[in-house]
Amino acid sequence: MAEPSFNAIITSKDNQYVKLVRSLADKKQRKAAGLFLAEGLANIREALVSVMQPELLLYAEGAQSRPEVDRLLQQAAEKGARVLAVRPDLLKSSSQTENSQGLLLALRLPQLTTADFLTRVQGSNLAILDGLQDPGNIGTILRTAWAAGLGGVLLVNDCADVFSPKVVRAAMGALYHLPVLALPDTEAEQLLNQLDCELVCADAAGRDFRQCQFTRPVAWLLGKEATGPSAFWRGRASCLAAIPMQAGVNSLNVAVAAGILFFSLQSDTTK
């Protein structure tokens, strides 16, 4: 077990660990290192009680005097992470947020296979995000899917990377518990067929979602607010479901729409 470092303090911006953490803002560097970044006390606390593997925790020197921070440092060390102190201004400049809470945690990227996803999602409702690019919306949808008891989330058609710092922050722990998998369209379709789900497309041109009746688990298809799902996926939906809105309103934020739809089928087991 590694021990938190309360003596040696990293003071150089060229330190290998500081450079590593900074590099994780870039998707290619995340893939190369096999790591992603988590920030914030609540987010890191959730990561450390999950099955995720922490590799490196940098903290602002002096932050260990706060009991809640000290507990996280000890937890990270107990899980085998390298825990190192950094000069406060240096850690702040390495943060991806304007108001850093003094902790930056690098976690091992999960190696989720299609077989893993199939096993964990079988028999549950799920969501398919089609071409979504806004990190805040994606993170919020993941957080909502977790809260509503969905089994997992598929990403298709070049969605933004779910392990970007912005998505990780917005997801607020969902990524540590909810299976999330990005696949090409054809592979995702094959997986969906194996799951025997009913593909339901959120579309303003559809019927009131409250009038829809489903006999199988539902895969909610959510596309871009401006254009909706791609032709590939929209054409494969068995049902178009709309959320009734006031006259003159022609769109709804996709994350808000997701919340309404996800909770409409919330199982009693999630209560």
Q: Which two tokens stand for residue 113?
A: 């296979």
- What DSSP string describes 124-153? S-EEEEES---HHHHHHHHHHHHHTT--EE
Q: Which two tokens stand for residue 102?
A: 């003094």
Residue 240 pLDDT exceeds 70: yes
Residue 267 pLDDT exceeds 80: no
Q: What is the DSSP code (8-state) at residue 87?
A: -
pLDDT in tens, 142-163: 999 999 999 999 999 999 999 9
Q: How far is CA 241 from CA 113, 203, 237, 247, in A?
A: 30, 6, 10, 17
Task: Find how far residue 34's CA is from the centre of its chain.
Answer: 16
In this prediction, residue 99 carries a pLDDT of: 78
**CB-CB contact of 83 with 24 (8 Å):** no
- CA torsion 188-194-195-197 (nearest 10°) is 80
Residue 41 pLDDT exceeds 60: yes
Domains, in order of start, for the chain: 9-108 (3.30.1330.30), 114-270 (3.40.1280.10)
Q: Which two tokens stand for residue 218?
A: 């539902």
Whats the size of the chain, residue-wise?
271
In this prediction, residue 3 carries a pLDDT of: 61
Residue 269 pLDDT exceeds 50: no
